[in-house]
Amino acid sequence: MRSLLLLFLTASVTLAQNVTIDSLRRQLTGMPPDSNRVKTMHELATNLWWNGYDSLARQTLQQALITARQVNFPAGEIRARLALARIEADYLSDTRAAHAQLDTALKLAFTSHNRSLEGQVYLRRAQLYENIMSKLPEARLLLEKALQKMRQASDRQWEAQVLNEMAILKMGEGQYVDAINLWLRTRRIQESIQDWKSLRATLPNLGAAYVKLNRYAEAMACFDEAQQVADRLNDRMVRVFLAGKKGEIFERKGMYEQALSLYLDQVEAYQHPYVPASLARAYGAVGRMYSQLKQYNKALEYTRLSGQTYRNTVEKTQAVMEHNAQANFGRIYLALKQYNQTITYAKAGLLWTEPIREMRPERTEYLRQLAEAYDKLKQPARALYYFKRYKAEADTMLNEEAMQKATVASMTYDFEKKQQAARLQQAHQQARIQSLENDNLSQTRNLLLVTLVLVAVLAGFVVWNNRRLRIRNDELAQKNAEIESALYRGQTIERKRVASELHDSVAAKVSALKWRFEAFDTSQFDSDQLEEHTRLVNHMGEVYDDIRAISHNLMPEILEKQGLQAALIKLTETLNVQNRTRFIVDVHESGEEVRGKTAHELYAITLELVNNILKHARARQAAITLLRKNGCITLTVEDDGQGIQAGKAEPGIGFTNIHSRLERLGGTYHLSNREQGGTLVDIQIPQPG
């Protein structure tokens, strides 16, 4: 009881120091029970929640709910129930009660025909589902419904809130460019309606996405603007969040002591008042820094605190995992050379994240740990398996194209903002000229002539300025083309180097090792030893064949010398020797040889589709056709296999890679089942100039 009393007194002292909260509490004194009192109580609860006083916020909202029902104010009752559900989304300690609040709120919203409030119910329910991995698909559907309702209601403020939540899900998927674009849309809306309260969350989130792409200048600019908004609103929790994000930048730059200092400040801030979900993440960050500083005892201590604290935030019946802590354990035991411990933690984490695309960053880290641990344990086959999966996930999350798109998105926003300011300035000047003309109708003809001259000068300036902008845009387009050309040349050189290294070094060594094993005197071996010896020789032969195939596919010599058509013919000849499926190729109507970047991308796409046929189609025959028609190059790959199964999940990483390559070529693809059975993929790209 003493500790509870002390906590209450501490909270009271802190609350007294918050000017906004103190002012709202004074307003409530003597205010009659009406709709204005409900609105003031809701505003007070919001400010209490912002500052981390969740229990007091809940009490205030319960009082607001009771008062709203007494004075027959349905909108006030709905908003109180929505706010209670939102606070619960941070804890997940009583989700049943939160869903009951939302069910009642939705009925009231339907009765009052308020589409905006209906959309807010869908948004709050989606926020409850976002922390439950099995409910993420349902959360995405709810957000789409919420966005539709906000647009129907023309509610720009809540439309921005829904876009913000969609961006958070994209961030969890590792789709940082999509998240940035959503947050930029959110920011434009909030700035246009001057919604500073909502902007205080959007700016830090946008900065956090830039940090993931190593765009530290853009991230710091967002954080500085967010700091100004937080200071204006006296929002302590946003300031604490920003400190953690700046710590993340220090961490990525290898400045671990500076990052540790900021993370420890976060721990202290989230302890008083107690914010368990955020505190768990802060503990995990501190443990990560101590691990980098090789203070492994402290690293383990804070990592355990992270896991325990997170466990205490959710209902006891739920199985949970704090992935900051789980990944930390893996890193620490790697550093301590306890590789079996690393494998235990990493596999447990991987099992949680495996089916969930929103957890790609965590999954990537677990795969990296498993690859490294198995490598240290001298288990190369498993190490190679996990390394390939890690590389695929990491390349998907962050690649050069994503960096360029993020830069373009940032430049687009700045450019549009400058254009908007120029338009406002121009409109202001034109309005002033019009006002002067109206006020000076009685003045002399000479003054009118001077005004007309000023207008002509201004128009000339606008035309000159627009011409400069067009020239600048043309220069940017030319620079982008040069960058793309240089990137392709660099990729080609790197492919050749890696292919040469694989063929001349790694393959040669594996071949030599296979020969040495084959030269063993096996006359003294018993049957088990002979069987193991044979297995090892065969396995090394398979590794050698795989390395040669990878080397060849990275940079086929025939593709460089004779073009795509010859490479496709050679590919089918090789496939027909090694596989049960018979491949037919037709390039007779393909015209002149396809070379350069287009040839490399189409060859890589063909390999991906052929691999899908061999793995999944169970086909007896497949056909590859290349032709030119109506100014396009068309590539068709079809088979007589089992086709696309009804109800199959969305395409995997293979078709994601195909889509990415076609984007670079400006092309499209169509996937369908053939009438006579099997699958058909039709790809079209414009002929290169």
Which CATH number characterizes residue 627's domain? 3.30.565.10
Mean pLDDT (whole number) for 584-609:
83
Mean pLDDT (whole number) for 442-461:
79
Q: Are residues 457 and 545 in the same domain?
A: yes
Residue 99 domain-assigned (yes or no): yes
Q: Are residues 627 and 564 in the same domain?
A: yes
Q: Are residues 548 and 574 in the same domain?
A: no
Residue 672 C-alpha from the chain's centroid: 29
Range of the domain at 623: 559-686
Contact 100, 139 (CB under 8 A): no
Tell me the per-residue pLDDT of 239-279, one tens digit each, with 9 for 90 and over: 888 888 888 888 888 999 999 999 999 899 888 777 777 88
- For the chain, give me the number of helices (H) and strands (E)? 28, 5
What CATH number does the domain containing 121 carry? 1.25.40.10
Tell me the per-residue pLDDT of 66-123, one tens digit each, with 9 for 90 and over: 999 999 999 888 899 988 888 877 666 677 888 888 899 899 989 989 999 999 999 9
The amino acid at 32: P
Tell me the per-residue pLDDT of 45-62, one tens digit each, with 9 for 90 and over: 888 877 778 788 889 999
Residue 436 C-alpha from the chain's centroid: 53
Give the Cα separation of 162 and 254 in Å (integer): 35
Q: Are residues 111 and 138 in the same domain?
A: yes
Q: Are residues 486 and 550 in the same domain?
A: yes
Examine the fold and report which residue of 111, 139, 154 is the final residue of a domain before the chain moves on: 154
Least confident of 203-217, 447-461, 484-498: 484-498
The number of C-alpha atoms within 13 Å of 65 and in the hemisphere containing its C-beta is 18
Residue 215 domain-assigned (yes or no): no
- What's the domain count of the chain? 3
pLDDT above 80 (res 324): no
Looking at the DSSP assignment, which residues form a beta bridge with residue 635? Answer: 626, 683
Q: What integer pLDDT is reported at residue 373 of this predicted model?
A: 92
Task: Tell me which of 516 and 670 has the higher pLDDT.
Answer: 670
Confidence class of residue 397 from pLDDT cuts 50, 70 and 90?
low
Task: Tell me which of 432 and 171 has the higher pLDDT.
Answer: 171
Q: Are residues 537 and 576 in the same domain?
A: no
Q: What integer pLDDT is reported at residue 503 of this predicted model?
A: 62
Q: Are residues 541 and 565 in the same domain?
A: no
Q: Look up residue 343 and give its two tokens.
A: 């494998």
Any idea how long the chain is? 689
Residue 335 domain-assigned (yes or no): no
Contact 220, 249 (CB under 8 A): yes
Contact 487, 400 (CB under 8 A): yes
pLDDT above 80 (res 587): yes
The number of C-alpha atoms within 13 Å of 4 and in the hemisphere containing its C-beta is 2
pTM metric for this prediction = 0.50
Residue 268 domain-assigned (yes or no): no
Q: What integer pLDDT is reported at residue 5 of this predicted model?
A: 28
Examine the fold and report which residue of 98, 130, 154 is the final residue of a domain before the chain moves on: 154
Burial 292-310 (b: 16+ CB within 10 A, else e): beeebeebbebbebbbebb
Q: Are residues 523 and 583 in the same domain?
A: no
Residue 432 domain-assigned (yes or no): no
Examine the fold and report which residue of 555, 585, 600 is the final residue of a domain before the chain moves on: 555
Residue 422 domain-assigned (yes or no): no
Q: Are residues 581 and 593 in the same domain?
A: yes
pLDDT above 70 (res 4): no
Q: Is 212 helix (H, G, I), strand (E, B) or coil?
A: helix
Q: Are residues 563 and 546 in the same domain?
A: no
Residue 83 domain-assigned (yes or no): yes
Q: Are residues 599 and 523 in the same domain?
A: no
Residue 548 domain-assigned (yes or no): yes
Q: Are residues 452 and 580 in the same domain?
A: no
The number of C-alpha atoms within 13 Å of 28 and in the hemisphere containing its C-beta is 19
Confidence class of residue 9 from pLDDT cuts 50, 70 and 90?
very low
